[in-house]
Amino acid sequence: VQTLARCFTAMHCVTWRVNFRGVGASEGVYDDGRGELDDFRALAAHARADTPGLPLMLGGFSFGGYVVSRL
């Protein structure tokens, strides 16, 4: 995911890298994918509002890939 973010940034794409709830310095606790899906849905909505008209590409690794595939 870090490599994808670096590549997208190098291509002048707007990128966000996030930790799911309870990971690193993020707040909250693991929610078996339900709350994490809500978190990622909120990020996608923010990205769309912040950069209207630009394509939205989502990616993730392991659990993040699972959450993205459900979104």
DSSP per position, 14-36:
-----PPTTSTT--S---TTHHH
- For residue 35, what pLDDT is reported? 92
Strand, coil or helix: 69? helix
* pLDDT at residue 70, as a whole number: 93
- pLDDT score recorded for residue 10: 92
pLDDT in tens, 8-67: 889 888 888 888 888 888 888 998 989 999 999 999 999 999 999 888 888 888 898 999
- Interhelix angle 34-50/63-70, nearest 10 degrees: 70
Look up tokens 């979104």; give the residue.
Answer: 71
